Structure 1
Amino acid sequence: MPATPANPSTLFYGANPLARALAGLLRASQALGTNAASAAALKLFFTPLPSKWAARRRPVPADWRASQWLFEGVSLTAWQREAGSIEGRPTVLLVHGWAGDAQQMRPLADALWGAGLNPVMLDLPAHGRSRGWSSTLPQFGRALHAATSRLGPLHGVVAHSLGAVAAMHAAAQGWPVQRLVLLAPSSAPSQVLTWFAQAFGLRPATLQHMVQKIEAREGVPLQQFEPAWLARRLSQPTLILHDEQDRAAPLANSRLIARSLPQARLQITRGLGHRRLLADPQVATAVLTHLQVAPYLG
C-alpha cells in the first residue's frame, strides 16, 4: 500500500492486516477489467474494519438497555437508559462513525442524561451489536430516518465522523431534528473514494466505476453529500467540533462546512485527535451549551 501520510485511507487501512493483505490483490484485479476491479474494491470499501466482534464482546453497560429494531431485513440496536423516566426529556440521538460503535458515544450520552435530556445511542448497520456485515453512507441515512420513525422528532443529533455526514444529508432531506452537533465530520464521499483509490493504487477508470456502482445501487447521487449541496437545504443551528490534529478526518473539511453554512459555528480543539474528542469534558460542555441545557456537573 503506497505510503501517503496525508491520505487518511492509507492510515486507516494500513493499520489493518487484512486490508494490507488485500492491497496487492485489488491492484492485480484491474487486469480483469474495471467492472471486476470495482466490484472487488467496493466489497472492501463497504465492509467496516476492524470487525464489529470487538464491540460485541463488551458487556452491556450498566444503566443502559438495548432494543432491537427491524430495519431492511436486519436488526438495529438502540441504547437507552435503563432507569429513570424519560417523560418530558427532549430526545437526542447519538450517532457514531464508520467502523465505530454506539459505546464510543457513552461519555456524551451520560452527560446529556445528567443534563435532563433523553439520549439514544444507535449502532448503525453492520456496526456494534446491529446485524449485517457491510453498509454504506446512504444506508446510514436511511437508518437515521428509521430511528425517528420509532423515536419521533428529535431535539438534536450528536454525530461523529461519517455519521455526521449522514446526519447532515438526512436533515437536508427533511429529517425532523432541531439542532445539529457535528463531531469531526468526514469529508464528502467523492474525496473519501479518491483517497481509497490512491491508497490501493486503483486507476481512475476503476474509481469512476466504483462511483457509478454506488449511485446505481443506492439511488442517490454522491453530489448530494457535498457541503455546497447540503448548505442550500440546511437551516438548523449547527455546532461543529474538530481537532486540529485529526488525521482521520482533516480539519479543512469542517472549515469548508462552516463557511458553507451561515448558521454553523466551528470550535477547534487541540490534542484530542479523531476519537478522544468523544470523551472530552470540554467538548461535552460545548455540546450541552449548543443544545441549550445547563452543563453536566456530575
Structure 2
Amino acid sequence: MSDKIYFNTSKKFSFKKKMVNLTTRAHHKLAPNHAKRTAKKLLLTPVRSKPKNAEPKGLIISEVSTSEGVLKTYRVGTGPVWLLTHGWSGTASQFFPLMEHIASKGYTALAYDHPAHGQSEGAYGHIPAFVGGLEGLLDSEEEVAGLVGHSMGTAAAIECKHAKLQDKPLLLIAPVLDYLDNLFGSVARSGYSMRLFEAVVDDIQNQYHYPITSIDPYNKLGRRTAPTMIVHDEKDRFTKYSVSEKAAKEMPLVTLITTQGQGHGRVMHSDEAKAAFDTLTS
C-alpha cells in the first residue's frame, strides 16, 4: 500500500485525495493511538517484491544478524567486497546483473534485503532501520572496498557513520539526495494527514534517538572525502535528476553520468552504471 503513497507523483486535484485527507484527519482526532498504529502499518510497510532477475552463477545466499533482525544476503565473486543497498520496496535481486559485472572485474558483490524487504526479517522500513541494517552488514565484513546504492538506499548509505564506509567510494544510482523534501512531499501529494504522519515520524525518531531533521544526504555527501559517481536518468519520475545535477556542479568529488530512457529502476543494470563502477575501480 505504501508504494501508492511514496511513488505518487501526480499534482492534480483528486476527489480520492481529498477523502483520504478528511478521513485520516478525523481518525487522528477521534482515536489518535489507533490512528497512529494504522498509519504506521500503512506508511512504513514496504511491498515485499519478488525477485526481479535470474540468480547469478555461483551466488551464495546467507544471513547476517543485525540490530534490525536477520537480514538475507547474496554474495557472488571473489576479491575486495562492494556492498549493494537497494531502495524502498526493492530487493537485492534488482542488483543481480550489476553484481555479475562487479564479480567479472575481480570483486565480491555483496547485496542484501533491507529490514522488512525481500526475505529479511522486520515489519517496518524507514531510514533508521536501513542504517541499522547497513551497519550490521559492515560489522560482519572485515573490510569493504566501496558501496553501490539505489534510491532510498543511497540516503541510508550517506547517513551511515560506520568507520568502514567513511573513506570508501560510492556509486549512487537514482539517488534521493533531498530525502526530507521527497518524503514529506510524497505524503502530502497523497492527501494523507500530515499531522498524523508527523506523529508516526515522531514515534520513530524517539524510538531510535534519530531526529528526522538530522537526515541530510545532500550536504553530508558534500562533506565526504572519497569520490562518488552518480548515475541518474534525466526523466526519473521518483527522484530528482536536478538535485544530482546540482551536486555534481557544486561538489568536486562528485561526478554525474546522465542516462536517457532508463527510468528509476532499469538504470540499476544499465551500461552506464557498469561503466561508472569501472571508473571508480580503475
TM-score normalized with structure 2 length = 0.83
**Which one of the candidate residues 158, 165, 174 is aligned to 2:163?**
174
How many Å apart are 1:38 and its aligned residue? 4.3
How many Å apart are 1:188 and its aligned residue? 3.7
CA-to-aligned-CA distance 1:122-175 (integer Å, 9 cap, x gap):
1111112212232221111111111121112211101100001111111x5534
Give the direction of change, closer, same or farther, for the CA distance of 1:288–1:137 in structure 2 (3 Å limit).
same
State how far apart, in whole Å, the 2-side matches of 1:232 and 1:244 are. 21
Give the direction of change, closer, same or farther, for the CA distance of 1:208–1:282 in structure 2 (3 Å limit).
closer
The equivalent residue for 1:75 is 70
SS in 2 for 1:154: coil
The amino acid that maps onto 1:211 is: V
How many Å apart are 1:65 and its aligned residue? 1.4
Give the direction of change, closer, same or farther, for the CA distance of 1:8–1:94 in structure 2 (3 Å limit).
same
Is 2:67–2:136's contact at 8 Å kept on the other side of the alignment? Answer: no
Q: Which runs of 5 or more structure 2 residues have no equivalent in the other structure?
A: 11-18
What percentage of aligned pairs have identical amino acids?
27
SS in 1 for 2:196: helix
Provide the alpha-carbon RMSD of the alignment: 3.0
How many Å apart are 1:198 and its aligned residue? 1.4
The amino acid that maps onto 1:67 is: S
The equivalent residue for 2:268 is 278
CA-to-aligned-CA distance 1:34-63 (integer Å, 9 cap, x gap):
6654443232221102x34x239x886542
Is 2:84–2:148's contact at 8 Å kept on the other side of the alignment? Answer: yes
May I ask how many residue pairs the two structures share in their alignment? 271
State how far apart, in whole Å, the 1-side matches of 2:158 and 2:265 are. 19
**Which one of the candidate residues 48, 51, 55 is aligned to 2:51?**
55
The equivalent residue for 2:86 is 96
Is 1:26–1:40's contact at 8 Å kept on the other side of the alignment? Answer: no
How many Å apart are 1:26 and its aligned residue? 3.5
How many Å apart are 1:73 and its aligned residue? 6.3
State how far apart, in whole Å, the 1-side matches of 2:252 and 2:40 are. 35
State how far apart, in whole Å, the 1-side matches of 2:83 and 2:195 are. 39
Give the direction of change, closer, same or farther, for the CA distance of 1:22–1:261 in structure 2 (3 Å limit).
same
State how far apart, in whole Å, the 2-side matches of 1:284 and 1:118 are. 15
Give the direction of change, closer, same or farther, for the CA distance of 1:259–1:224 in structure 2 (3 Å limit).
farther
**Which one of the candidate residues 207, 214, 219 is aligned to 1:224?**
214
SS in 2 for 1:236: coil
Give the direction of change, closer, same or farther, for the CA distance of 1:215–1:257 in structure 2 (3 Å limit).
farther
How many Å apart are 1:247 and its aligned residue? 0.6
**Which one of the candidate residues 207, 220, 240 is aligned to 1:250?**
240
TM-score normalized with structure 1 length = 0.79
State how far apart, in whole Å, the 2-side matches of 1:256 and 1:227 are. 13
State how far apart, in whole Å, the 2-side matches of 1:160 and 1:250 are. 13
For residues 122-161 of structure 1, what are the structure 2 equivalents within 5 Å?
122-161=112-151
